[in-house]
Amino acid sequence: MDVRSVGLIVMVILCLSTASAQIRSARNPVIWADVPDMSMIRVGNNYYMSSTTMHMSPGLPIMKSKDLVNWKIISYAYDTLANVDAMNLVNGKNTYGKGSWASCLRYHKGIFYVSTFAQTTGKTYIYTTKDLEKGPWVEHSFKPALHDHSIFFDEDEHIYIVYGAGKLRILELKENLSGIKEGTEQVLIENASAPAGNQIMLAAEGSQLFKVNGKYYLFNIVWPKGGMRTVIVHRADKITGPYEGKLAFRDLGVAQGGIIDAPDGRWFAYLFRDSGSVGRIPYLVPVKWEDGWPVIGENGKTSEILDLPAGMGLIPGLVANDDFSRRKKDRLLPLVWQWNHNPDNNLWSVNQRKGYLRLTTGRIDSQFVMARNTLTQRTFGPVSSGSASMDVTNMKDGDVAGLALLQRKFGQVGVKCSKGVKTIVMINGANPYPAEVDSVPLNQQTVFLKAECNFTDKQDLARFFFSLDGKSWKAIGSQLKMEYSLPHFMGYRFGLFNYSTKNPGGFVDFDYFHINDQISDMNSNPIKK
């Protein structure tokens, strides 16, 4: 064998080894789903993360991981943020895009703290527990709502909060968390956006404060005009300053978050990126320390491959199948489910018919986005699909029920009951006035529904299907051009729904909801991620 042949074989082996290592390694984004405003801590060998789900109920999800890559929802800080019209979706009011925003997760002397704030109520909330998975949670709340705040427990036993946008402020909390200590509020940084220049579209916000090797580090996001989302870091020797700041990271719009250390001494920045209609998706970026500053990225860039265990997928940690069969000690709804706004608990059940989710109408609604008791799960990228089986025997005249993709520009496939006649319909809500674009007569009591999402390269396209036997699927209606809209401020969600336009009291029974990481092309061939 000549030298060139040996060299070629070595090159092939090295390439295969590299490819194999990459397959076994984590990739960015580490979560291709809507998990924005992350706050992260490590306690021992366990990582914990909180995130924003705004108008959803229960809210303020807590997730757990052993490796920073594979996460599982373990609890929510609250079942109901507040019992008010906007959260309850009653009297024509809603809290889309509001509810509770960016949270801060901390651990101090055996107690877990997660704080948030809500435009809906004008309050700041701090939830505490000794056990993130089992609870119980204790709520502390006070006015005003402190925007994008970071809670911090210092060695002097004082409890600080940094908050605001552009001009950042700091204050102290009372020891019992009941409110603000009078006379403690002061300006921390007059213009936190300054390191990014003078032309700013989004002033520095999203504060997250850390202490490393005796110094305080404050992370913020800023968005210069004509630029992209950017990480700003300020540091100081005292928590009250003075602070010096610098532009810390600008690549792909990956920004807003903080830093986390691993047990082996490595550091990572946890950040997120706007990714079209699927939502705001988390990235991990390696961090090194130089001259007392965190240096984010490799040569200022986001890594595609990470020296972390490979991601095993979001199923069943963040999304999951549900056949609605429950044993005595099971939760009525697994943690992957959230209601769109606060539910009316008298109008849903997984016990009235064994192995089914029953949704009953209790009032008249004119449009889907204002209907109560829509049960949701995240969509995810690059492609995902959700399917359901629904028994429509007990629908009443004027009822509309089925499977939806929930956002302001929503899409639905379902069944409409009108004058005793049931039809399968597809409703496209991409235009200002949602339109029923297709209908098919339904002459049986069970129907199978499916929605497929393609988020690849921000195509943001969805299609809807129905089946009469659960095996052979037919496309229905038009393609939905999905769009992430600020009025809802959330990635698209699969939703099971039932609402009445005429006669409340009808109900539908869902036999299952299944979620998948593949869709079909125009010829119904599977497209996998």
Residue count of the chain: 529
* Residue 181 DSSP label: P
Give ∠ CA 376-106-39 in degrees, rounded to 5.
45
- Token pair for 362: 């209790």
Give tens-digit pLDDT for 172-186: 999 999 999 999 999
- Token pair for 407: 């956002």
pLDDT of residue 249: 98
Rounded to the nearest integer, the mean pLDDT of the chain is 94
Please state which of the ranges 254-263, 281-290, 431-440 shows the lowest mean pLDDT.
Answer: 431-440
- pLDDT above 70 for 524: no
Give the residue from 337, 329, 263, 225 showing the smallest Cα distance to 67: 263
CB atoms within 10 A of CB 481: 14
Q: Please, are residues 138 and 127 in contact by the beta-carbon 8 Å criterion?
A: yes
Three-state helix/strand/coil letters over 32-65: CECCCCCEEEEECCEEEEECCCECEECEEEEEEE
CB atoms within 10 A of CB 455: 27
- pLDDT above 90 for 431: no
Q: Please, are residues 285 and 335 in contact by the beta-carbon 8 Å criterion?
A: no
Give tens-digit pLDDT for 14-58: 343 444 444 579 999 999 999 999 999 999 999 999 999 999 999
- pLDDT above 80 for 307: yes
Between the alpha carbon of residue 222 and those of residues 249, 398, 422, the distances in Å are 11, 48, 52
Share of the chain above pLDDT 90, in %: 92
More confident residue, 420 or 499: 499
* pLDDT band at 522; cut points 50, 70, 90: very low
What is the mean pLDDT of the segment spanning 277-284?
98
What is the mean pLDDT of the segment spanning 280-292?
98
Cis preceding-peptide flag for 309 (omega within 30 of 0): no
Q: Look-up: residue for tokens 């229960």?
A: 58
* Residue 348 DSSP label: E
- pLDDT above 80 for 529: no
State residue 477 phi and psi, 5-degree precision. 75, -160
pLDDT of residue 5: 52
pLDDT of residue 215: 98
Cis preceding-peptide flag for 487 (omega within 30 of 0): no
pLDDT of residue 104: 98
What is the mean pLDDT of the segment spanning 379-403?
98
Q: Please, are residues 527 and 518 in contact by the beta-carbon 8 Å criterion?
A: yes
In whole angstroms, what is the distance from residue 179 CA to residue 461 CA?
A: 46
In whole angstroms, what is the distance from residue 313 CA to residue 58 CA?
A: 23
Give tens-digit pLDDT for 95-113: 999 999 999 999 999 999 9
pLDDT of residue 9: 45
pLDDT of residue 521: 74
- pLDDT above 60 for 292: yes
Give the residue from 395, 383, 344, 377 showing the smallest Cα distance to 500: 395
Strand (E) or helix (H) holding 237: none
Rounded to two decimals, what is the model's pTM?
Answer: 0.93
Q: Is 226 left (phi over 0), alpha (psi -120 to 50) or beta?
A: left
* Residue 147 DSSP label: T
- The helix/strand/coil state of 16 is helix
Give tens-digit pLDDT for 247-278: 999 999 999 999 999 999 999 999 999 999 99
What is the mean pLDDT of the segment spanning 69-84?
98
Please state which of the ranges 10-19, 339-348, 352-361, 435-444 shows the lowest mean pLDDT.
Answer: 10-19
What is the mean pLDDT of the segment spanning 338-350?
98
Give tens-digit pLDDT for 488-511: 999 999 999 999 999 999 999 999
Q: DSSP letters along 302-339, please?
A: --SEEEEEPP--STTTTS--B-----TTS-SS-TT-EE
* pLDDT band at 2; cut points 50, 70, 90: low
* pLDDT band at 13; cut points 50, 70, 90: very low
Q: Please, are residues 178 and 140 in contact by the beta-carbon 8 Å criterion?
A: yes
Q: Which CATH architecture has domain 37-260?
A: 5 Propeller (2.115)
State residue 369 phi and psi, 5-degree precision. -70, -15
- Amino acid letter at 349? S
Give the residue from 490, 511, 519, 275 showing the smallest Cα distance to 376: 490
More confident residue, 188 or 20: 188
- CATH 2.60.120.200 range(s) for the chain read 338-528
- Token pair for 406: 């929930």
Q: Please, are residues 357 and 347 in contact by the beta-carbon 8 Å criterion?
A: no
Give tens-digit pLDDT for 124-147: 999 999 999 999 999 999 999 999
In whole angstroms, what is the distance from residue 513 CA to residue 495 CA?
A: 10
Give the residue from 342, 389, 408, 375 showing the smallest Cα distance to 498: 375
pLDDT of residue 525: 45
pLDDT of residue 446: 98
- CATH 2.115.10.20 range(s) for the chain read 37-260
pLDDT of residue 1: 55
* Class of 338-528 in CATH: mainly beta
* pLDDT band at 6; cut points 50, 70, 90: very low
Can you list the pairs that 109-115 forms with residues at least 24 positions away whose Cβ atoms lie under 8 Å?
112/48, 113/151, 114/39, 114/50, 114/60, 114/62, 114/77, 115/149, 115/151, 115/161
* pLDDT band at 429; cut points 50, 70, 90: very high
Between the alpha carbon of residue 339 and those of residues 123, 186, 271, the distances in Å are 22, 39, 26
* pLDDT band at 88; cut points 50, 70, 90: very high
Beta bridge partners of 405: 411, 494
